[in-house]
């Protein structure tokens, strides 16, 4: 545990991808930053695994995109199926960007690369320090930790997740709800005969399952379940793939590398700023994992806020970023409700609509632009 300085330009609470991006971006711009994290060490689980084109563009500014691409899997296509029938295929390979693809890379690797860049720039993570109170006056804000130490700063930014202490201390509401179903998340080794360079979402009467390639020959599995086990095993994941995945070329689970369950909320902070306090990432917005938008939106929040703090235009942050998150919450909610429809007539209508859309090149391109978040910031 390193001793905390008494003061800084900016105190950031939470050293996930959003907090690390913000700290590195501010440090690169010459700001004096204190980044607090309550966990004694970084997470070694993969959690978020999708990095979209717009996020890679943003991270080009930190000179980390090349390393991310080197350690990830380039996926040029997103495909929606009803078991064996292809309903819609969304190609990313002709997008107007230096990164015309989706990148699959585990979150712990993303954090490792961002932390390495922060250290190269002369920054660090102060851990384990848990923020327990945030107060502010006209001159700045003070963060007090569970050790009794405090740091005064010009600004405080909460990047401390859905249960954000900073947001609660600032008195900012977090409006929304949670989905009734839970989600299974697992990284597995599979016998898999379908394409290795597609993210594939399978619909079925039993529910949805997503299968996506990861580095090292692994696959990420995401599925909705009424009541998921705490740590799904190979039998649980195999049953999901048998009931929802391809039938002509069934998958076989050989090994569970890591698994978990989670409940999904769709919530948006009422404000992104309260005086000297700002919110970014999951502290400001949470939503369904549909489309892999969460971490990406948070990293883009961080890059935008860092630029604004450095050039003195922080007053425009909420107006720029909150509508983006509102759009993501709305889009992922629609995707989730469509994907989890239980009524057979509704499912049939959904499949027909997707098949029609799948034949329209203009609509496919719009979907690719939206999913890759290239509609933001250009």
Q: What is the DSSP string of 318-364?
A: HHHHHHHHHHHHHHHHHHHHHHT---HHHHHHHHHHHHHHHT-HHHH
Name which of 341, 102, 312, 304 is nearest 208 in CA terms.
Answer: 341
Q: What is the mean pLDDT of the segment spanning 98-119?
A: 95
Residue 151 or 371, more confident: 151
Q: Above 60 in pLDDT, residue 48?
A: yes
**The predicted structure's pLDDT at residue 290:** 67
* Average pLDDT of the residues in 204-224: 91
Residues paired with residue 89 on neighbouring β-strands, in sequence order: 79
Percent of the chain having pLDDT more than 70? 97
Running DSSP on this structure, what letter comes out for residue 282?
G
Q: Which of 164, 158, 126, 175 is nearest to 275 (CA)?
A: 158
- C-alpha angle 281-286-287 in degrees, rounded to nearest 5: 135
pLDDT digits (tens, 9 = 90+) for 227-254: 888 889 999 999 999 999 999 999 999 9
Q: Chain centroid to CA 16: how far? A: 10
Sheet holding 285-286, edge to edge: 85-91, 77-82, 198-203, 209-213, 218-225, 174-191, 252-269, 285-286
pTM: 0.93
Tokens standing for 142?
A: 């003070």
Split at pLDDT 50, 70, 90, the class of 322 is: very high
pLDDT category at 130 given cuts 50, 70, 90 is very high
What DSSP letter does each residue of 60-78 carry, written as one string?
HTTT-HHHHHHHSEEE-EE
What is the pLDDT, as a whole number, of residue 24? 98
pLDDT for res 42: 67
Q: Which pLDDT band holds residue 44 (cuts at 50, 70, 90)? A: low
Average pLDDT over residues 337-347: 78
DSSP at 283: G
Cβ atoms within 10 Å, residue 315:
9
Closest CA to 285 of 272, 302, 304, 303: 272
Q: Are 278 and 172 in contact (CB under 8 A)?
A: no
- Contacts of residue 315, defined as CB under 8 A and 6 or more positions apart, other chains included, come to none
DSSP 8-state code for residue 4? P
Start-to-end CA distance of the chain, whole Å, equals 42
**What mean pLDDT is reported for the chain?**
91
Which DSSP helix (H) or strand (E) runs through 19? helix 17-28
pLDDT at residue 358, rounded to an integer: 80
- Average pLDDT of the residues in 274-281: 97
Predicted pLDDT at 135: 96
Beta strand pairing call for 131-136 and 141-145: antiparallel
Q: Does residue 378 carry a pLDDT above 60?
A: no
Q: Which pLDDT value is given to residue 38?
A: 94
Chain center to CA of 11: 22
User: Residue 108 pLDDT > 80, yes or no?
Assistant: yes
């Amino acid at each position: 545990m390193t001793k905390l300085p008494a003061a800084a330009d900016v105190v950031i609470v939470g050293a996930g991808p959003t907090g690390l991006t913000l700290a590195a971006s501010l440090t690169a711009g010459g700001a004096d930053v204190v980044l607090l994290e309550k966990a004694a060490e970084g997470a070694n689980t993969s959690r978020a695994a999708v990095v979209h084109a717009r996020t890679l563009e943003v991270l080009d500014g930190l000179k980390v995109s090349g390393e991310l691409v080197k350690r990830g899997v380039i996926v040029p296509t997103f495909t929606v199926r009803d078991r064996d029938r292809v309903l819609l295929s969304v190609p990313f390979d002709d997008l107007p960007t230096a990164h015309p693809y989706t990148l699959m890379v585990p979150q712990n690797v993303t954090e490792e690369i961002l932390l390495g860049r922060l250290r190269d720039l002369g920054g660090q993570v102060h851990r384990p320090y848990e923020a327990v109170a945030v107060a502010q006056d006209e001159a700045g804000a003070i963060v007090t930790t569970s050790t009794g130490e405090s740091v005064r700063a010009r600004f405080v930014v909460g990047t401390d997740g859905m249960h954000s202490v900073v947001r609660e201390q600032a008195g900012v509401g977090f409006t929304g709800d949670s989905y009734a179903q839970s989600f299974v998340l697992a990284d597995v080794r599979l016998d898999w005969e379908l394409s290795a360079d597609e993210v594939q979402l399978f619909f079925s009467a039993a529910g949805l399952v997503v299968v996506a390639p990861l580095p090292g020959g692994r696959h990420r599995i995401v599925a909705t379940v009424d009541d998921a086990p705490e740590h799904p095993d190979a039998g649980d994941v195999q049953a999901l793939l048998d009931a929802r995945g391809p039938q002509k070329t069934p998958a076989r689970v050989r090994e569970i590398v890591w698994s978990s369950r989670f409940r999904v909320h769709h919530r948006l902070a009422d404000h992104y700023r309260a005086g000297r306090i700002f919110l970014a990432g999951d502290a400001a917005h949470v939503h369904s994992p549909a489309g892999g938008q969460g971490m990406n939106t948070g990293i883009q929040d961080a890059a935008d806020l860092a630029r604004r703090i450095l050039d003195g235009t922080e007053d425009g942050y909420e107006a720029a970023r909150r509508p983006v998150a509102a759009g993501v919450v709305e889009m992922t909610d629609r995707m989730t409700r469509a994907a989890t429809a239980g009524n057979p007539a509704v499912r049939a209508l959904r499949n027909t609509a997707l098949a029609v859309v799948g034949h329209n090149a203009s609509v496919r391109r719009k979907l690719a632009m939206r999913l890759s978040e290239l509609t933001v910031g250009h």
